[in-house]
Amino acid sequence: MSLTKDDIQQIGAIVVEVTTPMFEMLGGKIDNLEGRMGSLEGRMDSLENELRDFKAEVRTSLATLEEKIDRLEASHTNRFENVEDDVQMLYTLVNKLEHGTKEEKIFAEQTIVRHLPAIYKSVMIIAKKHNISLDT
């Protein structure tokens, strides 16, 4: 038994009738997915831009922080070096008081009396900034 031309046309009509709604539904779902994908791509682009801006802001903040730390470090280094120089000078003057000539002893005594308050003040300021107790 072979299929006639009418049989083939009827089978074709049934296939079209059954599959058309499926393809229409599938096409709608594909359109919906494409829309959602476009929305997701937009969100991802937005997040990428926000992340780029955040990274730039963090870099700027870190650079500013690094500059401030460098300035503080230089400031404290200078203060400690100045105190170290002052203490070294005091040792030299005390040595001159103990072992120097009469003129050196007079000079050392006058210098110590003149500079000791400033040296003491510098040491106290640094100690206070670093919460170091210098009981006298």
pLDDT (tens, 9 = 90+) of the chain, 136 residues, equals: 688 998 889 999 999 999 999 999 999 999 999 999 999 999 999 999 999 999 999 999 989 989 988 888 887 777 777 778 877 888 888 888 889 899 988 888 888 788 778 877 877 887 788 787 776 5
Structure confidence at residue 97 (pLDDT): 84
Domain positions in the chain are 5-129
Q: What sign has the CA pseudo-torsion 36, 37, 42, 48?
A: positive
The answer, as to whether pTM is greater than 0.85, is no
- Yes or no: say if 123 and 133 are a contact pair by the CB < 8 Å rule: no
**What Å distances lie between residue 85 and 76, 80, 119, CA to CA?**
14, 8, 10
Angle formed by the axes of helices 5-99 and 102-129, nearest 10°: 150
